[in-house]
Every structure is written in C-alpha cells, then in structure tokens.
Homo-oligomer: A and B are copies of this chain.
C-alpha cells in the first residue's frame, strides 16, 4: 500500500474513533516525520472543553510535545479533512512541509454543515468589517510591547527549537 494512503487511512480511523468515543467532531489527523508517526489525534473539543481542539491542531500539539519542539520542519500532516483556516494557521506556524487530506471542507459542510466558508468570508473582510466586531483601542500603548520585544532579543538557541535542530 502506498505510504501516503496508509497514514491518511490512520487519520480517517482516528476520525471514526473520535465519533465512537464521543470526544469531538468527525475529524482525525497524524503528523509523520521520516516515515514515523510522531503525533496524532481525533478532534477532541467536547472531551477537552477546548474549541480549538481540532484534529490537526491537536496532532501538531501532540507531535511538538512528544519531540519537545515548536517547529515541525520536514513533517507531513495527514488529515481526514482539508484544514480550516485556524488549522491552516497551525500548519503555517508549525512549518509543516506538506498536507495530505481526504475530504474537501465543502464536502464536510454539505453533509454535516460545519460552515467553514463563514470563516473564509470573514477573513476576506477588512478587520473593521469583521464579525464578531473587532474594535481597536490604545494603539500607542500597544506598540510599546513590540519595542520591548525588540530590546530584549532571545538567545538564538531558545528560538531554534525545530525538530531539525535536535
């Protein structure tokens, strides 16, 4: 069996397990590095009382926790469904190399009504027009944070916690 299909079937299995165990929505994901699964999860929003516990986010968190890193360069994310914008953000920040998925989000929406299009629509609006309302206050005080950050640079060794630095 094709390796990609093997890992993607594992993600689909995790989605089915999540339904069976009632831990969250019907989604599963695994993170693979050099042919080895280093992180995996079902969607666990109900079990964990965590609206951000999508399968992709949880699989990335699991891999990072297992490897004690915050960047997964060179890793492949297999997901039972196309990542939503929140999960795409997680993929971006984790420096995932490639995403392989089974269902399009339009399919998920059509069958089960998850409404991911609403998020895309909102993100295509300028922040001033977004729902829920986004209001800016204290703009000048806010900037001080970035100046403080610039003045206290991290030791480079703290920042290079990629899986490839180990």
Give me the interface of A with B, judged by CB distance under 8 Å: 4-5, 8-9, 12, 15-16, 19-20, 22, 25-28, 45-46, 48-52, 57, 60-61, 64-65, 67-72, 80-104, 107-108, 111-112, 118-120, 122-124, 127, 130, 132-139, 141-150, 152, 154, 158-159, 161
Q: Complex: how many Å from CA A123 to CA B148?
A: 31
Q: How far is the CA of A99 from the CA of B137 in the complex (A)?
A: 11
Q: Assuming A52-B61, A89-B119, is B96 touching A143 (CB within 8 A)?
A: no
* Contact indicator B91/A89 (Cβ below 8 Å): no
Chain B residue contacts of A102, Cβ below 8 A: 136-139, 141-142, 145
Nearest residue in B to A4 (C-beta to C-beta)?
Answer: B137
User: In the complex, what's the smallest C-beta–C-beta distance from A7 to chain B, in angstroms?
Assistant: 10
Knowing A51-B71, A144-B12, the reply to whether A100 touches B45 (Cβ < 8 A) is: no
Set of chain B residues within 8 Å of A103, measured between Cβ atoms: 139, 142-143, 145-146
B137 touches A100 (CB 8 A): yes
* Contact between chains at A91 and B137 (CB < 8 Å): no
Determine the residue in chain B with the shortest Cβ distance to A45: B70
